[in-house]
Structure 1
Amino acid sequence: MARYEQIAGDLRDAIICGDYPIGAQLPSEAELAARFSAARGTVRQAVAVLVAEGLVGSRQGARRIVLGSERSQSFAELHSFAQWARSMGYRASGIVLASQRRPATSSEAVRLAVAPGDEVLSVLRLRRLDGEPVLIERTVYAGWIAPAVEKLDPSCESVTQELYESVGLVFAYGEHLIDAVAAGAEEARLLGVRRGSPLLRQRRTTTTQEGRPVECSDDRYRAGSVTFSIRNSTSANSLVRRAAE
């Protein structure tokens, strides 16, 4: 482990244990360098790790402000249900219930940057957490990635990981809209809830690092199965409030 990673680990532990509560200032770079007998550049690298994890603020200067006591999840953990489950100590599983190629709707065409009527792949998946059904995914893939998706095992644990290993696809950017909806007849049957029960809906569009759209999805979670935490500050704000669509 690199020296800066060791320092980041010690500081992370101190923040999580409450030695530096939310709103408190970290010691200055000079003070940290003296404490850890390290160069200031090494300390700066360690603090940058904590900034990336959302634990401390990104304001430039001698001291950083503690923003939270829990590290932010990686993009892969947030995008991939299976990778998130593993990181939390759960067992994820799932199955493809339906898969078909069809023309893109007008809204799908906008999200996937294709022409209305272009062929896309529509996939319906049921996801389970420790054997319990918790999530219905309705994912629409752009035509260029459809052949690779169709080759996947219908019960593969992580589509994200399998696509990376099979074709080198890296999901790099995602836009997420989160709201609440009522369960329809199909959702009630698959998730084992009453029709009209509240579901947490996450609509997302994901692109490659070059900005090429890969998929758009309508994911619906059974109430009480997951929560989403969003941390914002005056220097970094990923939360936007919108009227319901």
Structure 2
Amino acid sequence: MTPEEAPPGAAPGVAPDAPSATAAGPAVQLARQRLVRLLDAREWMPGSQLPGERALAKQVGVSRSSLRQALARLEEEGRVYASAQRGWFVRSDMVSEPPSLLKSFSEVARARGLTATARVLSRETRAATYEEAQRLRTAPTSPVLELIRVRGLDDVPVCVDTTVILGTHGDSLRSNDLTDKSLFSLLEDGGVRVTRSAYTAHAEAADHRIAELLHIPAGSPVLVCDEITHDQNDAPVLLGRAVYRGDAYRFEATLLRGA
């Protein structure tokens, strides 16, 4: 029932919530349906804050009590989440690595019907640190290309990605437009086929720099993922550190129990 079809006596654009047991259910369902339509239409972008309850109830056409119940249902469905004393927010589109399958950020996003974006913060050739040289199996102070980007889904920032690539493999990346390119694809174009990655993940609280780049409050949970990626000869070719918004990334893995 649209607001225009509301029974006589109802306020324009507001569906009445009668005190009877039968009225509450339909009003909550109506609110949920309208919120879903607005979310699907990207009325509010992933990660953004919803309007206040009073304004949102008026926009959806229900009472605030029905709105709260509808929002609670959408929270259970993973569409929105509540932040204490700050209101309701749209959940970011989740990115996850398929279990036991190495894919680039761009490939994972594309598989979910999303557009992967990147904003290059810095790109420089420098000498490898002692630790980097050890992990890349190269001589200390060997040249490496360090690339720092903010990765996004449909222009919503979800990750700060730092990649350190051996200088011998970084030539094709020094001048390429990396706003919508996969590093794995560019490496493969240069004859380097990525085959596996040693991956670790741990939780941290976002510092002010990361929080600003990801559009989240400082201290918000983030997932920090470190990797060493190897080529077809099982030689390490790059080191990566990706810092994801806690509400935008899910790590999946297939674990096998030994005999």
Q: TM-score, normalised by structure 1?
A: 0.62
State the partner residue of 1:88: 112
State the partner residue of 2:226: 203
Q: Does the residue aligned with 2:131 lie in a helix, a strand or coil?
A: helix
Q: Does the residue aligned with 1:156 lie in a helix, a strand or coil?
A: coil
1:128 to 148, 152, 162: 152
**CA deviation vs aligned residue, 1:85-129 (integer Å, no higher than 9, x gap):** 111222111121101111111211111111222211111011001
- 1:146 maps to 2:177: no
Q: Matched residues in 1 for 2:112 and 2:232: separation?
A: 26
Note the C-alpha offset of 1:74. Answer: 6.7
Residue identity opposite 1:229 in structure 2: E
Residue identity opposite 1:211 in structure 2: D
Identity score, percent? 31
Q: Matched residues in 2 for 1:76 and 1:180: separation?
A: 21
Which residues of structure 2 form unaligned runs of 5+?
1-96
CA shift in 2, pair 1:130/1:74, >3 Å = farther
Residue identity opposite 1:159 in structure 2: L
State the partner residue of 2:211: 188
Equivalenced residue count is 163
State the partner residue of 1:163: 187
Q: Matched residues in 1 for 2:227 and 2:138: separation?
A: 17
Residue identity opposite 2:118 in structure 1: G
Q: Matched residues in 1 for 2:221 and 2:140: separation?
A: 32
Q: Matched residues in 1 for 2:100 and 2:201: separation?
A: 18
Note the C-alpha offset of 1:151. Answer: 2.8
1:102 to 102, 126, 135: 126
State the partner residue of 1:8: none
Q: Matched residues in 1 for 2:234 and 2:133: separation?
A: 15
State the partner residue of 1:222: 245
**Which has more radius of gyration?**
2
CA RMSD of aligned residues (A): 1.9
CA contact (8 A) 1:99 1:122 kept: yes
Q: Which has the higher strand share?
A: 2
Note the C-alpha offset of 1:137. Answer: 0.5
Note the C-alpha offset of 1:162. Answer: 2.6
Note the C-alpha offset of 1:76. Answer: 4.1
CA shift in 2, pair 1:74/1:130, >3 Å = farther
Note the C-alpha offset of 1:234. Answer: 2.0
Q: Does the residue aligned with 1:75 lie in a helix, a strand or coil?
A: coil
Moved over 3 A (4+): 71-76
**CA deviation vs aligned residue, 1:133-172 (integer Å, no higher than 9, x gap):** 001101101111121111321313312123323x132101
Q: Matched residues in 1 for 2:236 and 2:173: separation?
A: 15
Q: Does the residue aligned with 1:148 lie in a helix, a strand or coil?
A: helix
- 1:213 maps to 2:257: no
Q: Matched residues in 2 for 1:72 and 1:126: separation?
A: 22
Q: Matched residues in 2 for 1:112 and 1:92: separation?
A: 27
Q: Does the residue aligned with 2:248 lie in a helix, a strand or coil?
A: coil
Note the C-alpha offset of 1:83. Answer: 0.2
Q: TM-score, normalised by structure 2?
A: 0.59
Which residues of structure 1 form unaligned runs of 5+?
1-70, 237-245
Query: What is the correspondence of 1:6-85 to structure 2 with a 5 Å cutoff?
Result: 72-73=98-99, 75-77=101-103, 80-85=104-109
CA contact (8 A) 1:76 1:83 kept: no
